Every structure is written in C-alpha cells, then in structure tokens.
A and B are shown apart, each in its own frame.
Chain A
Amino acid sequence: AQTVTQSQPEMSVQEAETVTLSCTYDTSESNYYLFWYKQPPSRQMILVIRQEAYKQQNATENRFSVNFQKAAKSFSLKISDSQLGDTAMYFCALMNYGGSQGNLIFGKGTKLSVKP
C-alpha cells in the first residue's frame, strides 16, 4: 500500500523566519512524483513544489525548497522568510506515474500559522 505521513498536525513560525514541514512516504513503485500543496482558508488547492523521484537535486521554487531523501523516503518542505500569506494547510502528496496512473495520495496535512 502507498501511504503518506505528516507527523506534525500544527506548526507556527514567526514572520521572516524559516520553518520545515516533515513528510514521509511509502511506495513500491520506482517512478513517482512528490508534491507539496498549500490550502489557504479559501480552500483552493495550490501546487507549491514538486519533485521527480529520479532526480537527486532538490527542487526549489523561490522561498520554498525541499529536502528529498529517497532512501529514507523522506520529503520535507522548507519555507524561508515566512510571510503572513503562507498561513495555510500544507499537504504532502505522492503520485505514481506511467500508464493511466495519476491519482494523488495525500498526507493528513500540517496547519501552519505565521505570526507577525
């Protein structure tokens, strides 16, 4: 079975500081992607960053970066220079690819609060 685990239900960080959200996963597939989605109070799901499993280099998108440890099946998200607008639920997700596969498997989420 494929699973995604986020062990931190809630976290808080001061504005302008750095925070890291944890995620571990389990899959028997060799080809997969990992994602972090942001869900603000508007409940819209917004893709923050993605990582291809075959790439060793960690993905980076502006203030967001990941630490992908394939052997440990770990995929953490680092948010630098936190902003008030980063306050949201963050979901880690796994997608196997190939053929007609393409559904996302989500973790339970981490609620991040950025404090002024």
Chain B
Amino acid sequence: DAGVIQSPRHEVTEMGQEVTLRCKPISGHNSLFWYRQTMMRGLELLIYFNNNVPIDDSGMPEDRFSAKMPNASFSTLKIQPSEPRDSAVYFCASSDIGGAEYNEQFFGPGTRLTVL
C-alpha cells in the first residue's frame, strides 16, 4: 500500500491567494483527519470525516477554511483567502474506525504551506 498521499509537499503562495491541499487516504479506511502543525500551537485537529461525512469541524479556524470529502478516496482542504498566519505544515491521516477497538491513524508526509 502506498500509504496516505498528500499533495503538494510544499506550497508557497502570496497573501490573498486561494490554496488547495489534497489527500488520498489508504484504501479501505473510513475516516480521514486533517491536522495543522505550527510552532506556537503544536499539532491540532482541524476536521475529521467518517464515511465521507464531516463529524467534527470545531477545529477549523474560521470561514476561510473549508474541507470536502467527495468520495472515500479523496479529500481537499481549501484556504481562501490565505493569510501569512496560515503558514504551517498540514497533515492528513486516515484510519479504519469501527469494529476493532484499536484504530491506528496513518499519517501522510504533510504539506508545508508558506504564505508570503
């Protein structure tokens, strides 16, 4: 299995531009998580989906952020308009929740976003 795939690995953009981050979870997993990592706040959950349905989006910082999961094999995190304070590493993770008591989350390599 290729693991969780994220693209792009690096993104540099200017303030005000739209940014779209992409994630392909591990095949067969039913849950997908978006995390953001910054020096100040550490790793924090932005949103997670179960069976393509958003379950908890309380971590989404503001309306400029939106996430979608149109099918079981693809998710996007969009920032519009982007601001310098959005600069961070964004991780996507997937898991198979339900049934077994333990559900390891597998992380993608992350997208390093720099907003100038």
Residues on A facing B (Cβ under 8 Å): 33, 42-45, 47, 50, 52, 91, 97, 100-109
21 contacts between A and B (CB under 8 A): A44-B107, A44-B109, A45-B107, A50-B104, A52-B101, A52-B102, A91-B42, A91-B43, A97-B102, A100-B50, A100-B98, A102-B95, A102-B97, A102-B103, A103-B45, A103-B56, A104-B35, A104-B43, A104-B105, A107-B42, A108-B42
Chain A contact residues: helix, strand, loop or mixed: loop
Would you call A106 and B44 a contact (CB within 8 A)?
Answer: yes
- The answer, among B35, B55, B101, B110, for a CB contact under 8 Å with A100, is B55
B98 / chain A contacts, CB cutoff of 8 Å: 100
Would you call A50 and B43 a contact (CB within 8 A)?
Answer: no
Would you call B102 and A100 a contact (CB within 8 A)?
Answer: no
Separation of A108 and B31 alpha carbons in the complex (Å): 24
A102 / chain B contacts, CB cutoff of 8 Å: 31, 33, 48, 50, 95, 97, 103, 105
